[in-house]
Chain A
Amino acid sequence: MAAAAIEASRAPARSAIGETWHRAGPVLAVLGVVLVAWYLAAIGLNAAQVIERELEPGWAWQDLVRHTLSMDRPVLPAPHQIALDLYDSIFGWPLDSPRNLLFHTWVTSSATLLGFVMGTALGALLAVLIVHSRTLDRGLFPWIIASQTVPVLAIAPIVIVILGSMGMTGVFPKAVISMYLCFFPVTVALVKGLRSPGVIELELLHTYAASRGDTFWKLRVPASLPFLFPSLRIGIAAGLVGAIVGELPTGAQAGLGARLLTGSYYGNTVQIWSALVMAALLGLALTGGVSLAERLLTPGGRR
């Protein structure tokens, strides 16, 4: 990022179209190379199976290419196969059918969003408590920081089992996993953000005879927003991983995690890849949504 900024400041002024091309061109070139490499890899990886099972002796290379790019269960499906499967599984079935990928995407994203809201609320509450209590700041906060180095996602199967034994199934247990993955980064960033106002700002409000509440809402909260949003992006991406992982131990009924798992049970590689692409798109959409909220709520722009 820093390198790009330095370069942009040195480069001569460009037209709007030139600027777009300057940015998008290299990305498109990289993606193009990836696409070509993908097709070559698909041919290479699928060749052994195709030669063994599908081709008659005396085949030409055109047959090899045609067959390797249209296998039912390829080692590596070609991009157009994944795109076709995505299209079929989105438009080929009614929206509430378990065969529709959008249905699974909704199951996963609803758990992610619910967990994200709960996690952000819990994280904010903890941050406010920590900022106002020296005891919690000294006693609890080091544990929250240390827990960042621990693979907390490993608790996911336990959460499913515990809440399942209490009769809770469906969206809620997955949302709980998303929640506890979201709240760590939010708490850490908010504690930093709520403490970011300097002595000068705090004393200015003191001279205005501002109450503790006024100082909190009119100074500390706005000052914490630039710290909050990057952590929200981390939180929602982690929450999505949590929701997907939460779908694994429940017998894979619904959701993108379930699609990944059933795909791997039945060796249906195209289904795995289309679920993966969908998960990636969902991740981009969720973090993009947070970035949009950031643009709207912090008029000064990102710091």
Chain B
Amino acid sequence: MMALLASGPGLAAAIVVLLALAVWSVRKLAALDEQSALGRFGTPVVFGAWIVVFWQILTEAFDVPQVLLPAPSLVWHSLVANGGVLLGDFVQTVVHSALIGWTTGCALGFATGVLIDRSAFLQRGLLPVAALASTVPLVGIAPIMVMWFGFDWHSKAAVVVVMTFFPMLVNTLAGLAESGHMERDLMRSYGASYWRTLVALRIPVALPFVFNALKVNSTLAMIGAIVAEFFGSPVSGLGFRISTEAARLNMGLVWAAIVVAALAGSLLYALLGWVERRATFWHPSFRAAAG
């Protein structure tokens, strides 16, 4: 279709008409009532769809070199054509490096939090250190981990463990401090032991904090796994694919790998959000949303 309008005033007019249509449709949707699902979810979807449409039209009309910005159709074709390769990259980066590292790092952070919760001294010693760790570019340990654990996913998972440990530790400690004196005194009057109180009262109360850390860490884990591959990796992995194909100017495949990484990251986040609503249904923030 674009070939027919290839140049001159016809194209310009078509773009102006489409632009007007786009602005009108998004404005109409945005003006809808706050409560309607169409207004809340439809607006961003339609807005995003128009961006893709204009991306496609403009890259074709102005013959943008695919190195600068490949058309969405080209990205889609690479995604389909290289499905097998990208699936291998997905398993390498997301399932192995990110998920195993994330699970280990979060478990270690949570366990450390529960263990040092009884010692005010250790808390005062570790909390400032953990807070400082968030300002430090921890992903820089990747070359060291590659030396220690080799080129395969083990070194990437190790980077992810280090990156996810501190947010989980900080949030677990904050969550365990969240239960009130009334509830704790009640548990004591029942003659509940320390561990019983921990399992029945304090950990459930800490869950919103723990889920917060799980969600923050899911993004950190994806970043850590991908960036660690920039430092050296075997012949698969999303970060490896992005850096090597970018060097070969094969931008369709690069963008396809980014689409896979973006989808994996947001799906993981959405999944955690869903589990969180199931596990902490009693929390005011969800009760308010439901009622």
Where the two chains meet, the residues of A that have a C-beta atom closer than 8 Å to any C-beta of B are 1-4, 6-7, 22-23, 25-31, 75, 134-135, 137-143, 146, 148-151, 153-158, 160-162, 165-166, 233, 237, 240-241, 244-245, 248-249, 256-257, 260-261, 263-264, 267, 269, 272-273, 275-276, 279-280, 283-284, 286-287
Extra inter-chain contacts (6) besides given A138-B29, A140-B44, CB under 8 Å: A27-B124, A75-B148, A134-B31, A149-B269, A157-B246, A165-B65
Where the two chains meet, the residues of B that have a C-beta atom closer than 8 Å to any C-beta of A are 23, 26-27, 29-31, 39-40, 43-44, 46-48, 65, 67-69, 120-129, 132, 134-137, 139-144, 146-148, 173-174, 176-178, 215, 218-219, 222-223, 226-227, 230-232, 238-239, 242-243, 246-247, 249, 251, 254-255, 257-258, 261-262, 265-266, 268-270
A3-B136 in contact (CB<8A)? no
Within 8 Å by CB of A26, from B43, B125, B147, B266, lies: B125
B144-A269 in contact (CB<8A)? yes
Shortest B205–chain A CB gap in Å is 12
* Sample (20) of A-B pairs whose CB atoms are under 8 Å apart: A27-B129, A29-B125, A138-B30, A138-B40, A139-B29, A140-B47, A153-B226, A154-B226, A154-B227, A154-B242, A157-B246, A161-B246, A241-B139, A244-B137, A248-B243, A249-B230, A261-B143, A264-B146, A279-B136, A279-B137
A146-B125 in contact (CB<8A)? no
Q: Given the complex, which residues of A lie within 8 Å of B39, measured CB to CB?
A: 138
A151-B265 in contact (CB<8A)? yes
Q: Given the complex, which residues of B lie within 8 Å of A149, measured CB to CB?
A: 215, 218-219, 265-266, 268-270
Within 8 Å by CB of A161, from B67, B177, B238, lies: B67
Q: Given the complex, which residues of A lie within 8 Å of B215, measured CB to CB?
A: 149
Measured CA separation A139–B39 after assembly (Å) = 9
B139-A264 in contact (CB<8A)? no
CB-based A-B contact count at 8 angstroms: 194
B147-A248 in contact (CB<8A)? no
Shortest B286–chain A CB gap in Å is 18
B140-A157 in contact (CB<8A)? no
Measured CA separation A50–B147 after assembly (Å) = 17
Interface of B, secondary structure class, is helix
B218-A2 in contact (CB<8A)? no
Measured CA separation A6–B246 after assembly (Å) = 52
From B44, B140, B243, B261, residue with most partner A Cβ within 10 Å = B140
Q: Given the complex, which residues of B lie within 8 Å of A22, measured CB to CB?
A: 124
B247-A249 in contact (CB<8A)? yes
B139-A245 in contact (CB<8A)? yes
The 8 closest A-B pairs by CB, nearest first: A26-B125, A139-B47, A264-B143, A30-B125, A149-B269, A138-B30, A3-B177, A138-B43
Q: Given the complex, which residues of A lie within 8 Å of B238, measured CB to CB?
A: 154
Interface of A, secondary structure class, is helix
Q: Given the complex, which residues of A lie within 8 Å of B144, measured CB to CB?
A: 264, 269, 272-273, 276
B124-A4 in contact (CB<8A)? yes
Within 8 Å by CB of B67, from A7, A148, A150, A162, lies: A162
Within 8 Å by CB of B143, from A146, A161, A166, A272, lies: A272
A6-B137 in contact (CB<8A)? no
B137-A283 in contact (CB<8A)? yes
| Nearest-CB residue, chain B, relative to A287 | B135
Shortest B99–chain A CB gap in Å is 14
Shortest A148–chain B CB gap in Å is 7
A146-B139 in contact (CB<8A)? no
Shortest A147–chain B CB gap in Å is 8
Q: Given the complex, which residues of A lie within 8 Å of B29, measured CB to CB?
A: 138-139
Q: Given the complex, which residues of B lie within 8 Å of A267, measured CB to CB?
A: 147
Measured CA separation A245–B46 after assembly (Å) = 34
Shortest A187–chain B CB gap in Å is 15
Measured CA separation A141–B226 after assembly (Å) = 26
Within 8 Å by CB of B231, from A151, A165, A260, lies: A260
From B143, B238, B239, residue with most partner A Cβ within 10 Å = B143
